[in-house]
Amino acid sequence: MDEPAAIDQLPGGLPAGLEAVLMVADQPVSEQRLAQIFEVSEIRITQALRALASEYDSRDRPRGFELRRVASGWRIYSRRDYADFVSSYVLDGQTARLSQAALETLAVIAYRQPVSRGRISAIRGVNVDSVVRTLLNRGLIAHYPEVGDGGAALYQTTEYFLERLGLSSLDELPPLSPHLPGVADLESLDSATFDD
């Protein structure tokens, strides 16, 4: 029989330890990393995380927070039902929201990545240089490791983008609205040559 892990000797054991770490995590933590921290198997970590998530979602005692698996790991989030109250507290006079131009540019990058600045400008119909800089500075997009046609820099979304949206992958993005240009229109934009 294996010797009990050090976490098992503390009140609340592994579930309480997971809560303690996840309460202070500023980004998702993987099962592998948690297994290293607590010196237990990843299987045991996964089972404990799922049990905690289920407990937090219990209808018997509603909680203001939830445990979600996003991007590359697990993190505790405030429950969406309380978003207005949390936003009011966190922002408290700050203007941390993205502008309409930034949101539109981010959407183009998310759905068309990797994409050049020239293609983004063509799709939006305006110069996007300052908006792209803002998105880079906020960590929502990053340079794609390869260059595009003619040496153009390409952009892609980041794990932080997925985390902020509460998604585990880009496959979870909602389908594009039927009011956007058709696929044929987008293909014609792709085939055009744009300068950066």
For position 42, which CATH number holds? 1.10.10.10
Domain span including residue 134: 100-188
User: In 3-state terms, the chain is what percent helix, strand and coil (to 5)?
Assistant: 55, 15, 35
Domain count within the chain: 2
Instruction: List, in order, residues 6 or more apart from 19 with CB less than 8 Å away.
Output: 12, 52, 76
Asked if the bond preceding 114 is cis, omega within 30° of 0, the reply is yes
Q: Would 196 be classed as within a structural domain? A: no
**pLDDT one-digit tens code per residue, 148-195:** 888 888 999 999 898 888 888 888 888 876 555 555 555 555 555 444
**pLDDT one-digit tens code per residue, 90-142:** 665 444 578 888 889 999 999 999 999 989 998 888 888 889 988 998 889 99
Q: Among the three residues 55, 83, 111, which one is the final residue of a domain in this structure?
A: 83
Read off the pTM.
0.52
**pLDDT one-digit tens code per residue, 11-54:** 999 999 999 999 888 789 999 999 999 999 999 999 999 999 99
